[in-house]
Structures are given as C-alpha cells and as structure tokens.
Structure 1
Amino acid sequence: MNPGGGIDLRLLTYFLAVADELHFTRAARLLFVSQPALSNQIRRLEKELGVALFDRTSRGVALTEAGRAFLPYARQATVAIRAGVAAVAPRPLLRVDVLDAELALPREVLKRLRLAHRDLRLTVTAEGSVSQRRRILSGELDAGFRGEAFYLPHETLAPEWTAFVLAACRAAGFTPARYPVSTASAAAALELVAEGGCVTVSLRSTPLPAGTARLRLVPELTYPWVMVWHRDRTGDVALGWLRAAADGSRQAHRPDPDDLSGWSQS
C-alpha cells in the first residue's frame, strides 16, 4: 500500500479551497463544482491520507490538527507542480485575472504586454477579486487586477473620523472606494485588513493583528482630538481636573501616541 499515492493536483486544489474558505458551499462555488461533489473529493483525500482534515459541526468547518499540518505542504506542492509545468512549456505562460473585462486600465496594460512580448501565452479571466487571493495562493493564477477597498467606520459611529480620513485622501489626490462592512471597534476593523479585504488608516496606539503591516505616512497626519462636556457643568470640579490634565499634556508637547502612522494591509 502506498499512502497518499492517489493524491493528484485536483484533490489538493479542492482541499486548499475549503481550507481557505472554511465553508464547503462557498468553496464549491469558487471551484465551479457542486457541494456534494466537493465533499466526496475531500473524503477521498482524507481516505488517501488516513486522517480527517476538517472538523464538520453544526457551527461550521474547521481544520483539524492534521489539516493544519498538511496545509503548507499542500500549498507548496500545488505551486511547485504548476511552476514545473510552466517551466517546460515551449512558450512562457502568464495567467491574469482582470476583475472585469470592460475595465480600461487592465486592457491597456495587457495590450502593452502583448506588444512587448509576442511569444507570451496570456490567459485572461474575469472572475473577480473574491477568488483572486485563493487562486494565486494555490498556483492557479499568476496575477490579478483589483480595486483596493478602504475601510471607514459607519457614519453613525464616528462621522468626524470618517470626514478627517476622507479629507486626507482627497488631499492626496484620490477618493477611496469604501469597504461595505463596518465594525464596532478599530481592532475589529484591523481584523478585516488582516483577512485581506481592505486597507485602512489606523492610530499608532492600536495594536496590529498578525498578517498586517503598517506603512508610515509622509507627511504624517495628526488627528485633532477634542474633549466635549455639557456647558451647564463647566464649573464641575472633576471636569476641571480633567481639563487641566489635558492642557498639561498639550503644553508638555510630548509625542502623541495617537499620531496616525499610515496604512495597514496583508
């Protein structure tokens, strides 16, 4: 018996799709197969390996310990096989997703590419940004064009922050495409960044989750913090202490930990 001898590229591709999505129906949709067919192929792979790769419960799908151990090797094997096929091809091959076939910029770039490299075999798809990350990681795709969505909190949560960031973007010469999801905190927003769905502006004091990077803005931005209170309580002793502490901090001119340090991304 040869454990794993029946594993092929298709099985690895199916495994990677489910591992990335942690959802059989979504993975099947991305692979253009039925959900039962995908489940059958995953069971076949598990039988080949002799271990369960996924925990399937009423609460969802998760990788088992064996699945987590197998994942990096499945990625490496898939990328290596596809790279090997490309290496022995008589003409170089490039696979590109353009998000939408009607977009002018990708068309112009690919036109220039064809004119400069007439022997290139160019495969172009327009499946969209949702599948691009998975396909690039699995070796099915070499590059993709996508618009970078920009996270901003909901207007009812922090309208002054949203206005501040939008003004900074416009001053830099662009209007950001807004990410359609809002969260209840800055930390949760950075988790969206870590998932690769968007970029954002963050305060330097906000811890970065794994999978994100912080790029410093030049010139730096400083958020104009203000303190508010009810005018009828202007003479309140405790509020007076708070105002004095704020004035002391400002006069000391210490580096503000909440100076904006830049974009956060995957």
Structure 2
Amino acid sequence: MRAYDLAIQNFSVAEHLLQLHELFRGLQEGQVDEHLRLAVCSCLDVPEQTVLRHAKNDRVVMVAKATAPIPQSLLVPDGTNFLLRQAVVVGCTSLESFFWDALRENVLTIVRARKRGADESLRKITLSLDDYLSLEGWEDPDLRLQQIILKNFERGTLYDPSSIERIAKILTVKKFWDQVAAKTGNPDNEIKRHIGEIITRRNQIAHRADRPDENADPPEEQDGHGLRAINYAWANTRVATAKNVVSAASEIFTATLKKLEEQLDREEEQRLARQTMRS
C-alpha cells in the first residue's frame, strides 16, 4: 500500500527529530581543550589561530568555527524542546496523511465491490451532468469515476480517534480499534488516548505555537520559554503509538481490500462466463 510506504518515510523524520533532541539535550558551552582545538583546526584545514566554540554533554562534543556558531537555542535549558514539538507535528501529520491517502487509494475498489452497500458517505455522492457525460469520453472510465468520487473527499484534518474510525468504516472495516489493539498488544482505550493527545497537541502547536491557555484552571505547566511543558518520554510514546496504529491499520486495510478484490475477480469471471454462454 503506497499510503503506508509514504507514512513510514514521514515517521522516520519524526524519529530523527527525537534522536536529535536526545543527542543535543543538555549541551553546555565551555573552553575547548587545546589539544582538541588544534586537532579540529587540522581536520578543518584552517589556521591554528582560528577561533572555535565548544559545547558538550555526556553524549556529544561539538566544536565549531566562530563564523558558524553553535545555535544559542541548543545551549539553554529546554532549548531543544522545539525538536520534540516538530516531532509531534510530523508524527501526527504522518498519521493523518496515511488514512486519507488510504481512502483515496482504494475508494474505487470499495465502490465497485460494495455498490449500494457502500458507506453512506459514498452512496450520497452526486454526479453533475458534465461528470456523467465525461465518463463516456474517457479512455479509462474507471479512472474518471475515481476522480469524480475523490473530488468529494478533500484532504481533511483528524480531530479525534473517532475521525479515524469513520475513515476505517468507509473502508468497510468494522471494530477498527479492537483489531488495532489485538495487533499491537495494547489496550484500545490507551491507544485512543495517546492518539487523541497527539492530535490535540499538534493542533495546539500549529495554531497557538504551543502557548498555554491563559484561562486554564489549574494553570498549565510551562517550560523555561513560557510554552507548554513537553518532554522526550511523552513525545516519543505518542509518536510510537501513532506509527503502530498506522502499521496495524495497513495490515487490516490490506486484508480487507484483498477480499474485495477477490470478490470483484469472481464477479468478472461470472460475467464473462454468462457472456460466453449467450454467444
């Protein structure tokens, strides 16, 4: 499923952001050891008098030319939290894109297989006269039908786990969260809670730059920059849950669609057999 392949590529970006946060977290600037400074000058092929800046934590040592300084945001408490927030945004967007792409990728199969038994949102699609007439003029009417159907499904935004379940229902999947829980080995209420939290936090970051709600009672915890507090464990768990949901959903959708495609193949064989008998 192409939707799954694209989602996994996007999740890798979120995971890299989380890794960068852990790599740079707690960096402190200090004086560079003279032996290290000379070695770096030699490695960079610059004069020994070149001014260098130095920062380190218990995981990495950074030495940079003063003309390309180490970003100040990496050197202050909570300064790398922007990487966590970006990981949340990328992870949630990967989740969202997967479900909409899966719907768009497979909607024609669903319509052809389920016909009037398709989900109500598909049954209620209306065709203009131009749409109807255009079906006859296209070399591949199925492709044109797919285009007509998809223009009624603009890419949307997920607001909560129930939005995901609605898409799964259109894809003819029943008891979606129960199946996801069985595949991941985690309780469905915990999965839905994590998904709801990452969607909410993504929206807070996207629409309010993660500024806390001034009217919250009790007041929301803040980091050293006046934004909502966030930590690696929280972000990593939610991104991992989102990725696990996508992986499980891909397996569920693939199995469901395989049955529909097999049904279509049987119907086509029967149609050809009837045609042969009449001729």
TM-score range, shorter chain: under 0.3
Larger-gyration structure (1/2): 2
Superposition TM-score, scaled by structure 2 size: 0.21
TM-score (norm 1): 0.22
Greater share of helix: 2
* Larger relative contact order (CA 8 Å, sep ≥ 6): 2
